[in-house]
Amino acid sequence: MKKAADLIDHIGELDSFKRFGRVKRVVGLMIESQGPQSSIGDLCYIHVGNNRKKVIQAEVVGFREENVILMPYTTVQDISPGSLVEATLKPLEIKVGASLVGSVIDSLGMPLDGSALPKGLTAVPTEQAPPNPMSRPPINEAIDVGVRMIDSLLTVGTGQRIGIFAGSGVGKSTLLGMIARNTTADLNVIGLIGERGREVREFIERDLGPEGLKKSIVVVATSDQPALMRIKGAFTATAIAEYFRDKGLKVMLMMDSVTRVAMAQREIGLAVGEPPTTKGYTPSVFAVLPKLLERTGTNQHGSITSFYTVLVDGDDMNEPIADSVRGILDGHFVLDRNLANKGQFPAVDVLKSISRIMNYIVPEPHVKAAESLREALSTYINSEDLINIGAYKKGSSKEIDTAIQLYPKILSFLKQGTHEKVSMEESVQALFRLMDEGE
């Protein structure tokens, strides 16, 4: 009887009405409709075409007087004055499950090759609140990313969030591919946001490869897609990572790039009438970034270790998005164009990069060895001009003599082939052997 009563109460609470509105006008990316009753973030269906059989998905992004402002996930083609707008009264949901591993999907969670979704998936909302700060376990163990330079000198913790800062063409995608193939994480979730269409397949086949793809889910939102789809790509990738974290897995989330997410949010902000402030970015951009980045990390079930690439215009590390992201994350790796031009890959500038967690998760001898290598490298670079013109005389400084002796070996240590896999243990032992030679 109690079950029957509960069921009757539940039926009584159901909203059996469908709410509709009508399109009044379309200006650029923005669709303005009279009604329906809805909230910010709600998904709506715009019925277009003959007999209104075709449906365009759109999201409520604002209000103007009594009208609803929507943005489409696809194009605004076929929308006409008076097109019917149906409210769903709920945000966008995607379907996630173990059978999705190895797939390439779009921002709405649908396979990019046009195939049907596997059975047995669970619906999850794309936008969720970050974990409660008091429920986040502290990061106390390292994760093996399979890149010698990172594992030894910039050790990453399980659940740490790292920014990879670089200009275009310095090797961000190649580095992400190396990490995806070599990491000991249980699963990779890779968000390719705002990428050129040509680069998507190249990244999957060349950088990621079959070995990386078989333990990855790739979310793709190319640069030709509407701004809302690019933002949803980032939120969809994060929601997928959260789903598997809550199952107790160690997830590796990679997003290339968070700058294009910010640019997409700027497009939306300008379209709904926000004022451009810092270098043309609207205030909502700087509200969305922490909301997105804080969702990763640890919780009581599992962890999301995340790498976010940041495009820096003209290699300016102090531009607004780079500065904002650097302040939110737990460390940053700076890729240097000069190192790439010299043929050093990965082109990470060790002296400008930092892992804020490293000193808490590795033994003291490891920390000291890494500091010694940084000191030797810094000493050589500061004296490089004197050494190159022959103005430095051997024996004038013991530190410079040691740096000159170690420099070729340090360069060799920092380089790693794209398909060369090195475990963390091997990386740390190689660091100890190198620094022992300098004593």
Note whether 161 and 308 are within 8 A (CB). Answer: yes
Q: How confident is the model at residue 392 (pLDDT cuts 50, 70, 90)?
A: confident
List domains and CATH numbers for the chain.
Answer: 16-91 (2.40.10.170), 94-361 (3.40.50.12240), 365-437 (1.20.1270.330)
pLDDT over 70, % of the chain: 95
**pLDDT, position 257:** 85
Q: What is the spatial distance between Cα 190 and Cα 177, in angstroms, rounded to a whole number? A: 10
Residue 15: is its pLDDT beyond 60?
no
CA distances (Å), origin 347, targets 22, 140, 337, 351: 54, 28, 7, 12
Strand partners, 193: 221
CA distances (Å), origin 166, targets 116, 163, 194, 265: 37, 10, 16, 21
Q: How confident is the model at residue 23 (pLDDT cuts 50, 70, 90)?
A: very high
**pLDDT, position 354:** 95
Q: What is the spatial distance between Cα 164 and Cα 331, in angstroms, rounded to a whole number? A: 9
What residue ranges in 286-345 does DSSP mark as E strands?
297-298, 303-311, 331-334
Average confidence (pLDDT) over 60-87: 88
Query: Per residue in 246-275, pLDDT tens?
Result: 999 999 999 998 999 999 999 988 888 889
**pLDDT, position 438:** 62
> Which residues have a Cβ under 8 Å from the Cβ of 13 and sit 6 or more positions away?
none
**pLDDT, position 325:** 94
The amino acid present at 58, given as its one-letter code, is A
Query: Per residue in 153-187, pLDDT tens?
Result: 999 999 999 999 988 888 888 899 999 999 999 99
Query: Per residue in 29-49, pLDDT tens?
Result: 789 999 898 999 999 999 987
